[in-house]
Chains A and B, each alone.
Chain A
Amino acid sequence: MDALIGILGVFVTYWRQLLAFTGEHLFMSASAILIAIVVGVPLAVWMTRNQRIAFVIQTTINAIQTIPTISLLLIIMIFLGLGYGTAIVALALYSLLPIVQNTYAGLENVDKNLTEAGTGMGMTKLQLLTKVKIPLALPIILTGIRVASVVSIGAATMATFVGAGGLGEMIMRGIVTTDDQKVLAGAIPAALLVILVDLILGKIEKRANFRMQAARAQK
């Protein structure tokens, strides 16, 4: 009970700062995911056109995923220095895996008869992609984005090590001063953020899925 009151006390005292940290946290994660989408979706499209490329990209992205967050941050820091940039690039690299993998799987699994029908009716490759393949793969792509968001928001707590702030900053201050309440005051909002974003994206995903499921149920 005391601990709870203590945390509430921290919230009350530091609410301005916590709000700013949350803002930074969201800014970093969101930018990272946007970058990962902008880079990842075209990469996945490229993968569907060339098997060898697909293998190379897949292996590279898997390798990135095995690097621990702190090492990745520090490696990038060598090139980009301290600050948001380094954190965002690292988070984007982590977000790449679920986005590329799901987009690739989604595009590959579009019914071959539909792509043949589209081609036979006179769609160009680009039209086939934007009017048939991507809309049909959208539910799976959205799942990838959702996973990427969770990973990215979670990993963003480490951004404080390269001086990029975020809720990790509060946790660090707590650790440095051995103040459990501060640690929790940073960790709880971070966890809530993950849960909240996951819920919202889950809702969006379900909506996109709705029509597709109706279509599949008939087959």
Chain B
Amino acid sequence: MISFQQVEKRIGDASIIKGLNLEIHAGELFVLIGPSGCGKTTTMKMINRLIEPTAGRIEINGEDIFKTDPVELRRSIGYVIQQIALFPHMTIGENVALVPKLKKMERSQYEKKVDELLDMVGLDPKVFKNRYPAELSGGQQQRVGVIRAMAADPPIILMDEPFSALDPISREQLQDEFVRLQKTINKTIVFVTHDMDEAIKIADRICLMNDGTVVQLDTPDVLLQNPANEFVVNFIGAKRLRKVKELHPATSKKAALPKWSIS
């Protein structure tokens, strides 16, 4: 669906992305993860041309994205950012309907869609549609941020650490809802995060990056059971790997303690 071919990005002398080759499949939830400065956000922003690569080729469905109009391209790709970024001077309804309006869709066409989407994330349209973002909690605002990206029904959605600005409880909630949502909407989602727990919870495949290159690209299970090298082990963390071993007793010698025992 989305393919990166020998993509490079240099800013001055610094090499941000080094010869990146990636293949993101249709309908999968693809997580880009890595330490700060590893190039994960740069990689994502190259998909909707917010950042232009220095060299290489990026294709969506076999089409070179640098031959398309960036504005049209962006309207066909949903975009959610970390800082929520709902427009404070527009109502919730206006925020969600923004891309359909930019695409000059008929009001009757998107009005129903907006209601459906609000319902889908548990915000009653009758109550919330005419409110302003400031009247909503952080968790509610980010729910709106997520459905705003879906309003024009784009096949691809990019999400840049969408839940990291939220408190732990709303974050958990939104992650759960999001996994459920992904199963029903079946879009290709490119999701950037630095939180391994989040990645494991939601990803179909995880792409671990460091220093502008891909270190390991696998499903969460494979990543946890067969980390490719020292860096992956360190990034996942010893604690999480131990937990995985406990869940797979074949590799663990320790017997499970009975429930009533004193530990």
Query: Which A residues are within 8 Å of any B CB, using their own CB?
Result: 111, 113-114, 116-124, 127, 131-132, 135-136, 211-212, 214-218
Contact = CB atoms under 8 A, between A and B. Distances in A.
Contact of B132 (A119, A132, A215): A215
Contact of A119 (B74, B88, B103): B74
B102 A127 contact: yes
A214 B134 contact: yes
A214 B132 contact: yes
Interface string B66-92: 000001111110010101110111000
A22 to B, nearest CB: 37
A152 B99 CA distance: 42
A209 to B, nearest CB: 11
B85 A136 contact: no
B98 A218 contact: no
A212 B98 contact: no
Interface of B: 48, 50, 71-76, 79, 81, 83-85, 87-89, 98-99, 102-103, 132-135, 148-149, 158
B7 to A, nearest CB: 19
Contacts of B149: 121
Contacts, number: 70
B102 A120 contact: no
Contact of B102 (A113, A117, A121): A121
28 contacts: A111-B85, A113-B81, A113-B83, A114-B87, A116-B81, A116-B85, A117-B79, A117-B87, A118-B87, A119-B50, A119-B74, A120-B158, A121-B74, A121-B79, A121-B98, A121-B148, A122-B73, A122-B75, A122-B99, A124-B71, A131-B87, A136-B89, A212-B89, A214-B132, A214-B135, A215-B132, A216-B88, A217-B134
A114 B82 CA distance: 11
B45 to A, nearest CB: 8
Given A119-B50, A122-B76, 13 more contacts: A116-B85, A117-B81, A122-B71, A122-B72, A123-B102, A211-B89, A212-B88, A212-B89, A214-B132, A215-B88, A215-B89, A216-B134, A218-B134
A117 B85 contact: yes
B50 A120 contact: yes
Nearest to A132: B87
A116 B50 contact: yes
Nearest to A115: B85
Residues of A contacting B: mostly: helix
Contacts of A118: 87
B166 to A, nearest CB: 14
A127 B87 CA distance: 13
Contacts of B103: 122
Contacts of B158: 120
Contacts of B133: 215, 218
Nearest to B101: A131
Nearest to A135: B89
Closest 4 CB pairs of A and B: A215-B88, A122-B75, A122-B74, A117-B85
Q: Which of A135, A214, A215, A217 has the most CB of B within 10 A?
A: A215
Nearest to A219: B134
A75 to B, nearest CB: 42
A106 to B, nearest CB: 13
A206 B50 CA distance: 36
Contacts of B73: 122
B88 A120 contact: no
A210 to B, nearest CB: 11
Contacts of A121: 74-75, 79, 98-99, 102, 148-149
Contacts of A111: 83, 85
A121 B148 CA distance: 9
Given A113-B83, A132-B87, A135-B89, A120 B74 contact: yes
A195 B120 CA distance: 53
Contacts of A215: 88-89, 132-134
Nearest to A217: B134
Contact of B85 (A114, A124, A131): A114
B79 A120 contact: yes
Nearest to B73: A122
Contacts of B148: 121
Contacts of A212: 88-89
A122 B81 contact: no
